[in-house]
Amino acid sequence: MSDPRIIFSGTPAFALASLRALVEAGLVPIAVYTQPDRPAGRGRQMTASVVKKFACEAGIPVLQPQTLQSAEVVREFASLKPDIMIVAAYGLILPQNILDVPTHGCLNVHASVLPRWRGAAPIQAAILANDASTGVSLMRMNAGLDCGPVYSTRSVAISMTESAGELHDRLAELGGELLVSDLGRIIDGSLQPVDQDDNAASYAHKIKKQDAEIDWAKPADALQRHIRAYNPAPGAYFFSKNSERVKVWRAEYVAGVNAAVGTFVKYDKDGIVVACGRDGLRLKELQLAGKRRALAHEFVSQIDLR
């Protein structure tokens, strides 16, 4: 493949893995699009995305439009004469007049095996649904939501103890590997995309903070997945009797617990066992607002859960 004119667009760590893979393979983009700098941290200082930081260090020009909808932005994009645009968790909608510019279209690196889990939060959705496996897809983008034809996929098993953060990191690396492996054949036309089966599609909706609240009336195995799915963001939580928000970062399923829902039935060095709608959970790592994460035996000294 002879020096394709690649534009890369992405913002968070998932995108960074694909950009790094391209650069390490000698497929350096002519430009990187990423979201504008945002306030972050306690001081709310303007902070660049990890993609922007990497691109600047690599000497790649960076563009940060607020939207891709304006005629001026479209003209600037077209002036770059891209062969292909690669999109990974960019966070902005690509209008049709952007999608139409690259010679070989726009290619999305998506964190699921499409058509399962189209949408904003496929990693969390796969864990919540107790899927045995998930993966990444290379999809030709169209105006719909993750419904374009798929060039290739690669799958991995989901561990029963894996958090969304851990699975995210594995899928990000896998996406970069698949991208570098198949990009040449996508550009030269030897790899053709296959239409998705819309009847088999499922959707992973954008996560809201309140989605992460723990409902002890649910079965313990479902809540164990709930805690894994919302680790690290936004963090699964419940409220203590004093209305303090308590985040739960790690928990284990415990069979045979039979007590009133939400009852804290056991405290020991191994954790805090809570009765659920069916069976129980052993809470292993917890956190109060403004405090550091703590193992359960440390945590019980900070708060009265009884």
Q: What is the pLDDT of residue 290?
A: 86
Q: Tens of pLDDT along 253-306? A: 999 999 999 999 988 778 999 999 999 999 999 999 889 999 987 887 666 555
Q: pTM for the whole thing?
A: 0.94
Which stretches within the chain are classed as H helix?
13-24, 50-57, 71-79, 96-99, 122-128, 164-188, 220-229, 296-299
Q: What is the pLDDT of residue 17?
A: 98
The parts of the chain modelled with pLDDT lower than 50 are none
- Tokens for 116? 């399962």
The total of other beta-carbon atoms located within 10 Å of residue 42's CB is 5
Looking at the fold, whether 247 and 133 belong to one and the same domain comes out as no
Provide the domain limits for residue 230. 209-299
**CATH code of the domain covering residue 271:** 3.10.25.10
DSSP code at position 55: H
Boundary (domain end) residue, out of 204, 225, 258: 204
Query: At residue 236, what are phi and psi to the nearest 5 degrees?
Result: -65, 145
End-to-end CA distance of the chain: 65
Contact between 191 and 106 under an 8 Å Cβ cutoff? The reply is: no
DSSP code at position 189: T
Residue 1 lies in a domain: no
Residue 99 lies in a domain: yes
The number of folded domains in the chain is 2
Residue 304 lies in a domain: no
Boundary (domain end) residue, out of 204, 224, 249: 204
Contact between 214 and 203 under an 8 Å Cβ cutoff? The reply is: no
The Cα 299–Cα 281 span in angstroms is 16
Looking at the fold, whether 226 and 239 belong to one and the same domain comes out as yes
Contact between 152 and 138 under an 8 Å Cβ cutoff? The reply is: yes
